[in-house]
Amino acid sequence: MNKKEKIAFIGKKLDELYPNPPIPLNYTNAFTMLVAVVLSAQCTDIRVNQVTAVLFKKADTPQKMLKLGVDGIAEIIKPCGFFNTKSANIFKLSQALIKEFDGSVPQTFEELESLPGVGHKTASVIMSHIFKQPAFPVDTHIHRLAERWGLSDGSSVEKTEADLKKVFPPEEWEKRHLQIIYFGRNECKARGHKAENCPICSAVGCK
């Protein structure tokens, strides 16, 4: 199987298993999605959704988030871990949204990445899922599977993102990002992985 055939097989198998992959984080607007992604660093989506169910009832806008204060935010998000840093960043990014963007979440990478606690991956998630702009967020599952499948060399997240953007067309990026995450969680795990039992590795080989 050459690389072109491998990519076609991977895409077909992902479409079979996850034809309409849902966004795993619960949100109601661009702001709540941004906060949820910030909280998701070093935390499971399940835990984030449990925390945001409480947080967003009290604060689903930057203005309401500021009223909670850093301590109020921290108290709610404690189960997510790194809550001191995350609460400070959520408070500061809420301030920045009000001061610099009239309370709205900006729609460019540069502006998003200027916000406290918002890196390239977080900005990519917002650009892709909220504003429907071509972006390919790379998390640990995607980084791991891209190397495992020989689509990238695993040298850096930046390299993985660039390589995946080359092998999949832009109109597929949003879907592929979610599909590979689900596949990595459910079918092709980091530990105890057996290529012969994996729907993709068993066909295309893996490292």
Taking only Cα atoms into account, the Rg of the chain, rounded to an integer number of angstroms, comes to 18
- In the residue annotation, 153 being an active-site residue is answered as no
**CA trace torsion 25, 30, 36, 40 (10° rounding):** 80
- In the residue annotation, 121 being an active-site residue is answered as yes
Residue pair 160/138 in contact (Cβ under 8 Å)? The answer is: yes
Angle 148-152-155 (CA atoms, 0-180°, nearest 5)? 95
Residue pair 204/10 in contact (Cβ under 8 Å)? The answer is: yes
To which residue do tokens 């702009």 refer? 133
Tell me the one-letter amino acid at 164. L
| Residue of 139, 159, 165, 189 marked active site | 139
Residue 78: strand, helix, or coil: helix
**Which parts of the chain fold into alpha helices (H)?**
3-17, 30-39, 45-58, 62-77, 83-101, 109-112, 120-125, 140-148, 157-167, 173-186, 201-204
| Residue of 6, 121, 163, 175 marked active site | 121
**Active-site positions?**
121, 139
